[in-house]
Structure 1
Amino acid sequence: MKIIDLSHTIAKTTPVFPGSEKPHLTTVASYEKDGYRESLICIYSHVGTHIDPPAHVYETGLTLDLLPLTQFIGQAIVIDCRHLRPRESITMAEINRAGEDVEAADFLLFNTGWDKFWGSEEYFGDYPCIDDEVLEFISSKNYKGIGFDVMGIDPISDISLYRHKKLFRNKQIINIENLTNLDQCGSGLFNFSCFPLKIKNADGAPTRAVAWEVNTFLIIK
Structure 2
Amino acid sequence: MRVVDLTHTICADMPVFPGDDAPQLAQAGSYEMDGYRATMLRMSTHVGTHMDAPAHIFADGTTIDALPASHFVGKAVVVDCRDVCEGGAITMEQVRACGQAVEQADFLLFNSGWDARWGTPEYFGDYPCIDDDVLDFVIEREFKGVGFDVMGIDPIWDESLPRHKKLLAGRDVVNIENLTNLDQCGRGLFDFGCFPLKIENGDGSPCRAIAWIEG
Give the TM-score, by structure 2 length.
0.99
Amino acid at match of 2:84: L
Q: Residues 98-177 of structure 1 correspond to what in structure 2 (within 5 A)?
A: 98-177=98-177
Q: Answer yes or no: is 1:61 the counterpart of 2:61.
A: yes
CA deviation digits over 1:9-68, x for unaligned, max 9? 000011000000000000121111111111100010000000001101000000010001
What is the CA–CA distance in structure 1 between the aligned matches of 2:171 and 2:133, rounded to whole Å?
Answer: 17
Aligned to 2:88: 88
Equivalent residue, structure 1, for 2:9:
9
Q: How does 1:20-31 map to 2 (within 5 A)?
A: 20-31=20-31
Identity rate, percent = 57
Query: Number of residue pairs matched?
Result: 215
Residue matched to 2:207? 207
CA–CA separation in structure 2 for the residues paired with 1:16 and 1:50: 11
- What is the SS of the residue equivalent to 1:146? strand
**Which residue identity lines up with residue 91 of structure 1 in the other structure?**
T
User: Secondary structure of 1:159's match?
Assistant: coil
What is the rounded CA distance, in whole Å, between the counterparts of 1:35 and 1:68 in structure 2?
Answer: 37
Q: Distance in 1 between matches of 2:170 and 2:39?
A: 39
* Separation of aligned partners in 2, 1:63 and 1:146: 17
C-alpha distance in 1 between matches for 2:203 and 2:180: 22
Q: CA deviation at 1:91?
A: 0.5
Q: Quick one: which amino acid aligns to residue 167 of structure 1?
A: L
Secondary structure at 2:172's aligned position in 1? Answer: coil
Equivalents in 2 of 1:134, 1:188: separation in Å? 19
CA distance in 1, matches of 2:213, 2:95: 22
**Higher percent of residues as strand:** 2
**Which residue of structure 1 aligns with residue 181 of structure 2?**
181
* Partner in structure 1 of residue 38 of structure 2: 38
> In the alignment, what sits opposite 2:49?
49
Deviation at 1:169, TM superposition (A): 1.4
1:18: which partner in 2? 18
TM-score by length of 1: 0.96
SS in structure 1 opposite 2:165?
Answer: helix
* Counterpart Cα distance in 1 of 2:10 and 2:121: 17
**d(CA) in 1 for partners of 2:214, 2:208:** 19
Structure 1 moving runs of 4+ over 6 Å: none
Alignment match, 1:219: none
1:214 positional shift: 3.1
Give the AA of the match of 2:134.
V
Structure 2: gaps spanning 5 or more residues: none
